[in-house]
Amino acid sequence: MTQGVRSDRFASKNVVVTNKTFHVTVPESDEELAADRLWQLGVEAVGIGQVVDGMVELWTSVGATEESIRRAVDRLDPTWTWRTADVVTPVETWREHVGPTWYGKTGVVVPQWQADRLDAGADVLVTLIEPASSFGLGDHPTTRLSLGTLTDYLAGHHVSSVLDVGCGSGVLGIVAAQRGVTTIRSTDISAGAVEATIANARLNGVADQIEVDMAELATISGPYDVVVANILAPVLVSMAVDLRRLTAADGVLIISGILGDDHQHVIDALAPMQVEHATIAEGWASIQLTHVH
């Protein structure tokens, strides 16, 4: 993962994939405001063009469905102009180059097509993942860190409910379900992520434990024993109030998608929650926070 693009999301084998980009043109004085509006949608990158005649264009990906585009338009100032564009990208073969992702001592995430090759012990929890057209396999450092922090917490606490914010292919919620959590909600701004999470939950036999949707965080009622958010730092900051609200008084918030040496601004935004545990690997961090008592 980078601060611009999530590298654990990729396209499928030997096909041409058409995506949509969402473009907004605003006066130069509104550039920061427009960028903030886009970040609040939960996007993973915002591009900013050159100023031309006092105007600047920003672009991102908000999903290709009519609903996702409508939600984006609703965030804009009526005086701003917007458009969408199709992006056709030829992609390379990748399935032959990926493998199982181990986390902690007893967990492994396995591409579905490699399940019969895996030699795991009886005490190892195996999670099968089919990434669909554009979602990851749980192999990015921030996902591994989140999985490790989450499973360590589940091993030592009774947890009845988990909220996974920005679920992608659904691996965090699925692992929580496999480890005994009975009430799980997974959300993402992408319809493709919702479809992938539902399919992967079925693949692992835990679909009845997970509710999956595209709900905005502000509309969700809580609290949850554990809230997990593996999202980029600007989005975590914009969601800070709701992340605090949705974390139970005696529960924990687990965040990742943040740099190991540059995340204090995210911690500050989540105050008065306090850091209980931090793990840093490969330049990324996973932080566990609790409410102050």
Strands 247-259 and 224-230: parallel
Tokens of 160: 């009845």
Q: What confidence tier does 247 reach under pLDDT thresholds 50, 70, 90?
A: very high
Most confident of 16-20, 76-80, 128-132: 76-80
Distances (CA, A) of 53 to 10, 76, 89, 91: 36, 21, 31, 36
DSSP per-residue letters across 50-115: --BTTEEEEEE---SSHHHHHHHHHTS-TTSEEEEEEEEEE----GGG---EEETTTEEEEEGGGG
DSSP state for residue 124 in the 8-state scheme: P
Whether the pLDDT of residue 288 is over 90: the answer is yes
Span 86-115, mean pLDDT?
A: 73
Distances (CA, A) of 116 to 93, 139, 289: 21, 19, 38
pLDDT number for residue 141: 85
**Over the stretch 176-197, which tens digit does the pLDDT of each residue have?**
999 999 999 999 988 878 888 9
pLDDT number for residue 18: 58
DSSP per-residue letters across 186-223: EE-S-HHHHHHHHHHHHHTT-GGGEEEE---GGG----
Give the number of other CB atoms < 10 A from CB of residue 287.
Answer: 23
Q: What confidence tier does 12 reach under pLDDT thresholds 50, 70, 90?
A: very low
Distances (CA, A) of 159 to 68, 141, 151, 182: 32, 25, 11, 9
pLDDT number for residue 10: 36
Whether the pLDDT of residue 155 is over 60: the answer is yes
pLDDT number for residue 204: 95
Mapped onto helix, strand or coil, the DSSP state of residue 42 is: coil
**CA distance from start to end of the chain:** 34
Q: What confidence tier does 13 reach under pLDDT thresholds 50, 70, 90?
A: very low
pLDDT number for residue 170: 92
Handedness of CA 29, 34, 40, 46 (dihedral sign): negative
Whether the pLDDT of residue 11 is over 90: the answer is no
pLDDT number for residue 1: 33
What is the rounded CA–CA span in Å between residue 239 and residue 41?
A: 10
Tokens of 67: 């609903």
Q: What confidence tier does 5 reach under pLDDT thresholds 50, 70, 90?
A: very low
Whether the Cβ atoms of residue 174 and residue 151 lie closer than 8 Å to each other: no
pLDDT number for residue 4: 31
pLDDT number for residue 245: 97
110's torsion region: left (phi>0), alpha (psi -120 to 50) or beta? beta
Domains of the chain: 16-90 (3.30.70.120), 139-290 (3.40.50.150)
CA atoms within 13 A on the CB side of 101: 23
Residue 5: what are its φ and ψ, rounded to 5°?
A: -140, 140
pLDDT greater at residue 33 or residue 25: 25
Q: Which residue has the tokens 């058409």?
A: 18
**Over the stretch 63-77, which tens digit does the pLDDT of each residue have?**
778 888 888 899 899
Give bridge partners of residue 259 from the DSSP assignment: 262, 284
Handedness of CA 40, 41, 43, 49 (dihedral sign): negative
pLDDT number for residue 8: 40
Whether the pLDDT of residue 3 is over 50: the answer is no
What is the rounded CA–CA span in Å between residue 85 and residue 18?
A: 10
| Mean of the per-residue pLDDT values of the chain | 85
**Over the stretch 202-219, which tens digit does the pLDDT of each residue have?**
999 999 999 999 999 999
pLDDT number for residue 15: 47
